[in-house]
Chain A
Amino acid sequence: MPKAFKPQILTANDLIDGDTVFWAQSGWTRSVSEARVAQSPEEATVLEAAGQLEEADNRVVGSYLVAVGLETGAPYPLLRREQIRAERAPTFAYMAPESAELTERPARAA
């Protein structure tokens, strides 16, 4: 029996700063809650294609799909690894000064 489809989002790393990014409605966001969710295999294929185009456009590196849950109304990764990526920081209080907080970069226009 085929596995039931789980909702998915597209993620990658920004080419320049390596930041974890998620494909939103028309560009990349650093907030997982803003990620565009594929609710079917067909929609997931569209996301994957967007990732490949973005890699070819030299904006991101290593795009791939991540399974998410939607229980809270916003997508959140199911796997621990992807949850940590989505938080964009280690799970412990590391030695980052507050001034190092990254500034958001504008998403690419559609």
Chain B
Amino acid sequence: MYRYDEFDQRFVDERTAQFRAQVARRLKGELTEAEFKPLRLMNGLYLQLHAYMLRVAIPYGTLNGRQMRKLAEIAERWDRGYGHFTTRQNIQFNWPKLNDVPDILDALAEVEMHAIQTSGNCIRNVTSDPFAGAAPDEIEDPRITAELLRQWSSLHPEFTFLGRKFKIAVTGSETDRAAIKIHDIGLQIVQRDGETGYRVLVGGGLGRSPFVAQELRAFLPKADLLPYLEAALRVYNLHGRRDNKYKARIKILVHELGIAEYRAQVEAEFDRMDGDAVAVPTEEVARIAAYFAPPDLADRMGDADEAARMTAASSDFAAWLEQNTASHRTPGYRGVTISLKPIGGAPGDATAEQMRAMADIAERFSQDEMRVTHEQNVVLPHVAEGDLFRVWRALASAGLDAANKGLVTDIIACPGLDYCALATARSIPVAQDIARRFADPERQRAIGPLQIKISGCINACGHHHVGHIGILGLDKAGVESYQITLGGDATETAEIGARTGPGFAYEQVPGVIETILDTYLDLRLAGETFLGAYRRVGMEPFKEALYAAA
């Protein structure tokens, strides 16, 4: 994985020192809150309902054991012993004190981490496929591109004060595990006539006005990446609706101009600019790529059948193996998803002890690498099949062995009204109630692949629009009310879900989900997933089941 060079470290150290001075001035009263707020936000520090919240960047979700241990130390020393992994592949600490934050940032800098550009109207943490470098269907490791973009976008003078925040995701595979179609810009590494380049998508996003991204360029040569993105952002920035934040995202611009006109303007800007002055030298790309060279995995084919043997000894292990591991490009290895969705837990939360356990396991069994996923889990990308049983045992002893990846209890949920100052309703307790309702592992497996995504407000941090079942919590005259959407999809076949109808009370939601799933089980064809069944039969049977009695 990428390691800071001298410039990177100095940049982060200087920025941390600057923020320490800014906090000192704020505490002395030399800065008002109005003056301080944009400074703290640029360093990832929010003020939420109960406390400050520090959002720490985890570039494209990748971190090593040393970094995870530091997050655990921060959780214990300056927070309340846990952290929350987010749909942006970051981590949030919910209870830091303002006067401790400079020390936290110093601690992060010790392990090449920071909280810069995790807030504000800038290019945010670039996200990617959690199975990067491990997936068998990958053309190229997308993290090389993501790291290049991270360096290009960090404190980019032209794009530090955009009209609104800007999110970029990169995938190296046809199968989209990075939700690129719901990002401002999505990049898919593709090949054409033997040349590797990018398919560029633009204008995706959720929130108040959800859109699936449209194709801006079917094929962009790799060398043109930065000039082309610079042109795309420049056009957006010049048009930027700074008068109305609800119309300020690029998705609205693309929608209002139309993709053809936006494309024409981007191409014109691209032709006009001095691309060579912006393009990154090939030797720099090679320098970055070297950090992402495939790990030197030992030949473990000799004990590859051990996992299969152990399934006979433990049905729990067999279920976990089936549900939480994925194919790897190297024979004898698998990718492992550590579910942060135990029944009744807060989705994405991990205690300091669990973080240390994950660090230990990654160091011993996964080339010292972990990936935070946008589904709020953690991936061990390179685990030998012969080690899987030991990994499972180690995870189980830390309470990290939930065998529910991709099932009804693997729910995405934003912090919601239990933490977030913007939220209009709770989301975590809703997820917990649903998970308890469907706690039976056999029932979960009988239902099959399902993504429930919950947001506690229209900003859609919980990605509800693209949940197979989406749940949006709203405030109706001071009372929580939940809208349900069906048929959303965050993958390469992305779609925005459709509303079932009027909303439901907080207490009704688990029963509503049960009604939807019972309806699905009644009408599905053999082997048909929930999403497949919905696409075949449409909304009506579900609507009928939900509202007929009313």
A interface residue numbers (CB < 8 A to B):
13, 15-20, 55, 58, 61-62, 78-81, 84-85, 88-92, 94-97, 100
Contacts and interface: CB of A to CB of B under 8 A. Distances in A.
Contact of A15 (B48, B98, B346, B424): B98
Given A13-B47, A16-B98, 14 more contacts: A16-B27, A19-B50, A19-B51, A62-B33, A62-B47, A79-B475, A79-B478, A80-B479, A90-B419, A92-B418, A92-B429, A94-B346, A95-B349, A100-B80
Interface residues of B, number: 34
19 contacts: A13-B47, A15-B26, A16-B27, A17-B51, A17-B52, A18-B52, A58-B27, A62-B33, A79-B478, A85-B50, A90-B50, A90-B428, A91-B418, A91-B429, A94-B346, A95-B346, A95-B351, A96-B81, A96-B95
B29 interface: yes
B480 interface: yes
Contacts of B418: 84, 90-92, 94
Interface in B469-501: 475, 478-480
Given A85-B50, A91-B418, A92-B429, A78 B80 contact: no
Interface string B138-159: 0000000000000000000000
Given A19-B51, A55-B33, A80 B82 contact: no
**Complex A-B, nearest 6 residue pairs according to Cβ-Cβ distance, in ascending order:** A90-B418, A18-B51, A95-B82, A18-B52, A58-B29, A100-B80
Contacts of A17: 51-52, 97-98
Nearest to A85: B49
Contact of B81 (A85, A91, A97): A97
Given A55-B33, A80-B417, A95 B81 contact: yes
Contacts of A13: 47, 51
Contacts of B27: 15-16, 58
A18 B48 contact: yes
B405 interface: no
Nearest to A100: B80
A96 B426 CA distance: 18
B50 A20 contact: yes
Contacts of A84: 49, 417-418, 426
Interface string B322-366: 000000000000000000000000100101000000000000000
Contacts of B81: 95-97, 100
B99 interface: yes
A59 to B, nearest CB: 10
Nearest to B346: A94
Main secondary structure of the interface of A (DSSP, over half): loop
Contact of A16 (B29, B82, B97, B475): B97
Contact of B33 (A61, A78, A85): A61
B432 A92 contact: yes
Given A18-B98, A81-B417, A81-B475, A95 B80 contact: yes
B82 A88 contact: no
A68 to B, nearest CB: 12
A91 B426 contact: yes
Interface in B1-54: 26-27, 29, 33, 47-52
A79 B81 CA distance: 30
A81 B81 CA distance: 25
B51 A78 contact: no
B475 A80 contact: yes
A29 to B, nearest CB: 15
Contacts of B428: 90, 92
Contacts of B29: 58
A43 to B, nearest CB: 23
A80 B82 CA distance: 25
A89 B346 contact: no
A58 B418 CA distance: 26
B466 to A, nearest CB: 25
A21 to B, nearest CB: 11
A96 B425 CA distance: 22
Nearest to B415: A90
A13 B52 CA distance: 9
A57 to B, nearest CB: 8
B432 to A, nearest CB: 6
B130 to A, nearest CB: 23
Contact of B50 (A62, A79, A89): A89
B82 A94 contact: yes
B478 A88 contact: no
B50 A18 contact: yes
A30 B428 CA distance: 25
Interface string B422-461: 0111101100100000000000000000000000000000
Contacts of A19: 50-51
Contacts of B95: 18, 96, 100
Contacts of A15: 26-27, 98
A96 B82 CA distance: 7
A101 to B, nearest CB: 10
A76 to B, nearest CB: 13
A45 to B, nearest CB: 21
B429 A88 contact: no
A16 B51 CA distance: 9
B72 to A, nearest CB: 12
A81 B99 CA distance: 27
Contact of A81 (B33, B49, B432): B49
A84 B418 CA distance: 7
Contacts of B26: 15
